[in-house]
Amino acid sequence: MSKTVQAGIMVLGISLYSMPAAAQTKVQYMSRAWDLKTGKLAYIEKHTEFWAAKEHRRSQIRYTWPDDRVFAVKNVNYTKGKSDPDFSLTDYRTGYQESAVKQGQSYTVSLREGKSQPVKTAKVTAASNMVVDAGFDYFIRQNFNALEQGRTLSLNFVAPARQDAFAFRIFKTGTGQVNQRPVLKLRLQLANQVLRLLAEDIDVWYYTDTRQLYLYQGISNINNADGKSYKVRIVFSYN
């Protein structure tokens, strides 16, 4: 199962939402990805959210090495939907690109595996509870009360690398305390039991007071030097 199935990423150059600079408000924060195999800092994610009229319109995530060199960029456009936004990701090291664009009741997904590789495209038909890339965060926030109460929810995650969507389920695994604040612990896993044997679960922890993501642990949408997806523990910092 590819990294996209679980984390979701994309690329092909989605146009960014255009608005006067004076009308925008920026929210910036950072997350650090630690390699679960080595325990070392693998890379850093620098997030910038663009808001207008009290609405989150788009985001840009810059992926950097610990020495601050940028090696990949992701753009997310929420103007068509919060849980199923358009998005694109480009890895400058190899030219790898993924993207998804919502068009009515379907999604056009695109994949280019390298600079010299052709672009593959497909259409994915919309189903219930569709989720695309970073829209997963909004899906959790929109269903936070139900998850906190212990309900198991179903969703369909769009995966450009597989040119398809896959059924997942998400459920509560517990609660805890982080930085003297309560957190809700959730687990995302494939709904199909056979496919579940091929892909590890993803764990996410959310602060319950702000409903912000604190921790992501599982497969990454970024490849290591061997061309395989990192397995990471990503910790978010909003200070």
- Count structural domains, the chain: 1
CA angle, corner 193, sides to 173 and 105, nearest 5?
Answer: 90
- Which token pair is 195? 């496919």
| pLDDT value for 160 | 94
pLDDT value at residue 239: 78
Q: Name the DSSP letter for residue 194.
A: H
% of the chain at pLDDT higher than 90 = 85
CB atoms within 10 A of CB 140: 22
- Contact (Cβ atoms closer than 8 angstroms) between residue 42 and residue 231: no
For residue 172 the two structure tokens come to: 């509560």
CB 98 within 8 A of CB 5: no
pLDDT digits (tens, 9 = 90+) for 146-181: 999 999 999 999 999 899 999 999 999 999 999 999
Average pLDDT, rounded, for the chain? 91
Domain containing 92: what range? 3-237
Q: Find the mean pLDDT for residues 86-110.
A: 96
pLDDT of residue 233: 98
Decide if pLDDT at 20 tops 50.
no
At residue 167, the pLDDT reads 97
